[in-house]
Amino acid sequence: MKTVRIPVAYMPLVDAAPLVIAQEMGFAEAEGISLDLIAAPSWSSVRDMLAFGRVDAAHILSPLPVAMAMGLGGVATALSAVSVLSVNGNVIGVGRPLEDRLRTIGYGFDFADPVRAAEALTQVRRGPIVFGVPFPFSMHVELLRYWSRASALGPDGIVIRTVPPPLMATALAAGEVDAFCVGEPWGSVAVEQGAGALLLPGTSIWNFAPEKVLAVRTHWAETEPDLLGRLMRAVWKAGRWLANPETHATASDLLSRKAFLDVPSELIDRALSGHLTVTGRGEQRHVERFIEFHAGAASFPWRSQAKWIAEQLLKSHGKCAPCDLDEIAKVFRSDLHRRHLGSIGYDMPGASEKVEGAIRHAMPVASAGGGLTLLPNEFFDGHIFDPAHR
Amino acid sequence: MTKALTIVIVDEDRDRATAIADALRDACDCDVFAISNSSNLARKIAAHSPDIVLIDLDNPTRDMMEELTLASGPLERPVAMFVSGAAGGLAQAAIEAGVSAYVVDGLTPGRIKPVMDTAIARFTMIRQMRSELAETRLALEERKVIDRAKGLLMKAKGLDEGAAYALLRKTAMDQGRRVADVAEALVTASGLLG
């Protein structure tokens, strides 16, 4: 079989792992494809490369294709999110001045309780807290907004500003931002550089938040169904490989290479293992499922996830064109996921929508093979999002 | 007569920004400003109230520009990335040249086109010059490594220069690799073995 090259754009982040692993560990080759991985300098650049056909697939922020389907932002090409690449994996952190003030009130940096963290921040703030995030359409923004609305911070208690993560330390030092929400390894890098401390993992706000998706142009999905299937299978198998803790050392080593993330493998291992160093004093915290690539049908693009995102975007932007949430939610392609991954022993959920935020303990659910267990899925405030009753 | 266009160029590279600004001033009736420092980018741009913002596609600060496209963004007028409609082909050319443009709502394609044509031509020209320079540098580097590898072979195996090069070339052909890569492997290995 002749190997077909598929150009794929990604941002150098820990959650790009399924793409890197698919290529480096031979999962792509086994499908007769070769991923031409192109590291992008910015999310806008990833989006444009995909939208304008420079690449055929990309690692992108889960809210981005939803926002594009709503007519938000600059580009309108129809994209399809065919798989969720990773669930969770973000961290919220504060710069040195806030860290110091939090310490003076005896805050313990438990890296766990968002209610307590919001109260502590409210106690020490001298005005709205300015958070730096990587991109306006991102889970980072949605988690921060959700947290502020449902906690002591209040919706007007925070200001969100876009700062590329490599420049976050500088922006913190210059006082342009007070705090940040970023994906790994950038949180750990900030701690290593002494720029600040980690306050909360993204999981503490929503413990099953779709973070990055594998996206393609909808037109490409229609014209190249065979290639798409091969790409999706290779990436899914890479996610399954990553689910085994014994692979973390190898994965960290691979990702740390100059061609990919170019940061020490030890920093990458923190995210993969969930053992994070949260302050410059070396305080360590462990987080269950800090990032998840596979378990609990993590890769399944639930329509209800897209609807949750769409509803949040609508709340904060107050406009959309088109506005039919059922139509918009179709950018999460549960149909293509079933079609291309149903044949390889992946026990697919029976439904394409679920109530988000309603699973307290891992729970068996109806599935094609009868052996699927969904992982806990809760918002910190106990809110339940029912896509059928909005 | 229509009002002169205000164009902002965001580029960390002052030389390139100047070259593009000069070309634009020749090509259109416009005021051109260059911004090279990325801190508070969105507000610095907003201060000029531009009609068009041009930014290098590889610039990591580009994501800050996305704020300009939001209704709640720092500009009074909405800004769209330069895409779709009649301008589709131009947008493609812009992406290939490595420049992206944000255009204020309501600007006619006729006014955008000369600006984009000029910007694309300049970006392409500068990009070509740079890639040629990079290629020349790489070739020089490779030449040095090959010379070192030849030297190692001459010393270790008592070969003359021609025979050492022939051996490198044969090994490269046998393994389906480039001579420079074989040379580099040899130099690295010899460094490790001390």
Query: Looking at CA atoms only, how far is residue B163 from chain A in angstroms?
Result: 35
CB contact under 8 A, B70 and A72: yes
The pLDDT of residue B112 is above 90 = no
What is the reported pLDDT for B139? 87
The H or E element containing residue B140 is helix B109-157
Structure tokens at A224: 């190249």
Mean pLDDT of chain B: 79
More confident residue, B23 or A233: A233
Instruction: Verify cis geometry, omega within 30 degrees of 0, for the bond prior to A201.
Output: no
Helix (H) / strand (E) element for A270: namely helix A265-273
Give me the mean pLDDT over the B36-59 stretch.
79
Residues of A in contact with B57 (CB under 8 A): 41, 45, 48
**Using CB atoms, which residue from B42, B58, B61 is nearest to A164?**
B61
Give me the amino acid identity at A237: K
Between B88 and B37, where is the model more confident? B37
Report chain A residues touching chain B, CB-CB < 8 A. Answer: 41-45, 48-49, 51-54, 72-76, 134-137, 161-164, 166-167, 170-171, 174, 176, 317-319
Average pLDDT over residues B2-31: 81
3-state secondary structure of A89: coil
pLDDT value for B101: 74
How distant, in Å, are the alpha carbons of A44, A169, A212 from that of A164?
Answer: 11, 10, 17
Number of Cβ within a 10 Å radius of residue B47: 13
Whole-number average pLDDT of chain A: 93
| pLDDT band for position A73 (cuts 50, 70, 90) | confident
| A151-163: burial string, b at 16+ Cβ within 10 Å, e else | bebeeebbebbbb
Cα separation, A90 vs A84, in Å, equals: 15
Between chains, do B95 and A49 touch, taking CB under 8 Å as contact?
A: yes
Give B-chain residues touching A76 at CB under 8 angstroms: 83-84
Token pair, residue A191, equals: 């701690």
- What is the rounded average pLDDT of the residues A248-266? 94
- Cβ atoms of A66 and A309 within 8 Å: the answer is yes
User: Do A42 and B95 make contact, defined as CB atoms within 8 angstroms?
Assistant: no
B84 pLDDT more than 50: no
- Can you name the residues that pair with B30 across neighbouring β-strands? B5
Q: For residue B76, name the pLDDT band (cuts at 50, 70, 90).
A: low
CA atoms in the 13 A half-sphere facing the CB of B159: 16
3-state secondary structure of A348: coil
pLDDT of residue B70 exceeding 80, the answer is no
Q: What is the pLDDT at residue B106?
A: 67
- The residue-averaged pLDDT of A344-372 equals 85
Asked if the Cβ–Cβ distance from A74 to B66 is below 8 Å, we say yes
Question: Average pLDDT in the A363-368 region?
Answer: 83
The pLDDT assigned to B75 comes to 55
pLDDT digits (tens, 9 = 90+) for A150-175: 999 999 999 999 988 888 888 888 88
Distances (CA, A) of A196 to A98, A153, A172, A353, B29: 8, 20, 8, 39, 48
Count of other CB atoms within 10 angstroms of residue B181: 13
Q: Which of A152-166, A183-197, A280-294, B115-129 has the lowest mean pLDDT?
A: B115-129
Residue of B nearest to A47 (CA): B63
pTM as predicted = 0.84
Residue B88 above 80 pLDDT?
no
Edge-to-edge strand ranges of the sheet holding A196-201: A158-162, A129-133, A179-183, A90-95, A196-201
Is residue B132 very low, low, confident or very high in pLDDT (cuts 50, 70, 90)?
confident
Q: What pLDDT shows up at residue B18?
A: 84
pLDDT of residue A90: 96
Task: Please tell me whether residue A362 adopts helix, strand or coil conformation.
Answer: coil
With an 8 Å Cβ cutoff, are B61 and A74 in contact?
no
Lowest mean pLDDT among A81-85, A197-201, B107-111: B107-111
pLDDT band at A253 (very low <50, low <70, confident <90, very high): very high
| C-alpha A203, offset from chain centre | 11
Structure confidence at residue B192 (pLDDT): 85
pLDDT at residue A218, as a whole number = 96
Instruction: With beta carbons less than 8 A apart as the criterion, state whether A90 and A182 touch.
Output: yes
Tell me what pLDDT residue A257 has: 94
| pLDDT score recorded for residue B9 | 85
Helix, strand, or coil here: A359?
strand
Closest Cα in chain B to A137:
B66
* Residues in chain B within 8 Å Cβ distance of A44: 62-63, 65-66, 81, 100
Which residue from B40, B61, B81 is facing A75, i.e. has the nearest CB? B81
What's chain B's length in residues?
Answer: 194
What percentage of chain A has pLDDT greater than the value 70? 99
Over its C-alpha atoms, chain A yields an Rg (Å, rounded) of: 20
For range A2-20, the mean pLDDT: 95
**Chain B residues contacting A via beta carbons under 8 Å:** 38-40, 42, 57-67, 69-72, 79-84, 91-92, 95-96, 100, 102
Half-sphere exposure of A279 (CA within 13 A, CB side): 14
ipTM over 0.90? The verdict is: no
